[in-house]
Amino acid sequence: MRAAKFNVCLVILTLSFFYGGDLRCEAQSLPQEEIDALKQIGAKLKMQWNFSVDPCSGSGGWVKTFDSSYLANNLTCDCNNATNICHVTSIQLRGLNLTGVLPVAFANLKHLTFLDLTRNYLSGSIPAEWASLPLTNISLLGNRVSGKIPDELGNMSTLQSLVLDANKLEGPIPATIGKLTKLSRLFLASNNFSGELPESLGNLKNMSFFGYMAPEYAMRGYLTDKADVYSFGVVTLEIVSGTSNTGYRPKEDFTYLLDWLYVLQEQGRLLELVDPNLGSNYSNEEAMQMLNVCLLCTNPSPTLRPLMSEVVTILEGKRSVKAPSMKPAALNGDDLRYKSLRKQSHDSQTQSISDLPWTDSSISAQSTEGDILHSSSRATANTSS
């Protein structure tokens, strides 16, 4: 019986090849409502999708390969041979300079779990209708999306990653975001939000990283100049490495570039983070200086981050620096950045580290319990004298 069905499929595919028809084997059938949704999305985004080719075929322009990880043009389906039905589960349209308004029609792809529209020129507001989808990942990073985050997004019980950095979103962050208990990544920087962070964000127990946002701001709403220093450190790290902090995963245990920075520092191999496209055409001394600046600026404790004026002094070569050793969160069973934050949430936010002995390697970032220490006893003695 299986052989007979397979032969029928071959005949259908052969006829389709010779006569240019849209004949399909039933074993790979995409529902018409999903095809219609894709046509609406393609029209909105001006995508030149070829609907004479099965969208789930992985060919005909539905999946393209790029040299850069910043670019993607992929549509992925999940096909069930038992039911002879396919469903669109992932759409990645990253860095394609797309324009237009965010399509509501994505909501008609009822099995969509992954949506990545990073680095385009898409505008409009986030459709509340998307909240009906079983999405685990949404990325709208680097677009022109405006309006408020719809309250309905808080009903997306499957959502694990919400990346909305670098848009024109405004208004308060909705308290319903605190209902996203599976959320582990929340990136909201570089928008026009107003009001206080909702207390409900404290319910997000699975959070592991907040993008470019300093942990004390992301977790407690404490906003000082030191939060900008943290963001500067992350961006500087991306420049030196030529890699996105949120898109880098060298090993399964390390989700972010910043985690890998801590690993390589511990192993004395920091220079491995330098952009490989530079080859050997760079100064090891200057690269180490930059990487140490990254470590200082992203210190979990805001009190131990330098002032930006001090960072400028370091970058001008007027001051040498050696950052304290940081243990990566992935090896510690808990995120040290947040453990440090919780421990020091009532500490002063205004202390400068200009008097700390930055070239003294005795400063430690961990105790036997994995908590962050402000400094060793020798560093404390130096600052008190």
- The pLDDT assigned to 210 comes to 59
- Predicted local distance difference test score (pLDDT) of residue 212: 65
| Total residues belonging to the chain | 385
- pLDDT of res. 343: 36
Q: At what angle do helices 308-315 and 225-241 cross, to 10 degrees?
A: 30
Q: What is the DSSP string of 29-61?
A: BPPHHHHHHHHHHHHHHT----TTS-TTSS-TT
- Please give the single-letter amino acid code of residue 13: L
CA-wise closest residue to 383 among 347, 361, 358: 358
pTM of the model: 0.58
Identify the architecture of domain 222-376 in CATH.
Orthogonal Bundle (1.10)
- Residue 100's pLDDT is 95
Quote the CA–CA distance of 282 and 276 in Å, as a whole number. 11
Per-residue pLDDT at 193:
87
Q: Is the C-alpha dihedral spanning 30, 34, 38, 39 positive or negative? A: positive
pLDDT at 211: 60
The domain ranges of the chain are 222-376
| Backbone phi and psi for residue 77, each to the nearest 5 degrees, phi listed first | -120, 160
Residue 72 exposure: Cα atoms within 13 Å on the Cβ side: 17
**Smallest Cα–Cα separation from 86: which of 60, 58, 48, 52?**
58
Tens-level pLDDT at each residue, the chain (385 residues)? 444 434 434 444 444 444 444 444 444 689 999 999 999 999 999 998 999 989 998 887 798 888 777 789 999 999 988 888 999 999 999 999 999 999 999 999 999 999 999 989 999 999 999 999 999 999 998 899 999 999 999 999 999 999 998 899 999 999 999 999 999 888 887 788 888 878 888 788 777 655 666 776 655 556 677 888 888 888 888 889 887 665 554 544 444 677 788 888 888 899 998 988 888 888 998 899 999 999 999 888 888 899 989 988 888 888 877 776 665 443 343 443 333 333 333 333 333 333 333 332 222 233 222 222 222 222 223 333 3
Is 58 within 8 Å of 75 (Cβ atoms)?
no
Tokens representing 383 are 């600052």
**Where are the alpha helices (H) located in the chain, listed in sequence order?**
2-19, 32-45, 215-220, 225-241, 257-266, 284-297, 308-315, 336-343, 377-384
- Of the candidates 231, 237, 353, the residue with the CA atom closest to the CA atom of residue 290: 237
Q: What integer pLDDT is reported at residue 59 of this predicted model?
A: 81
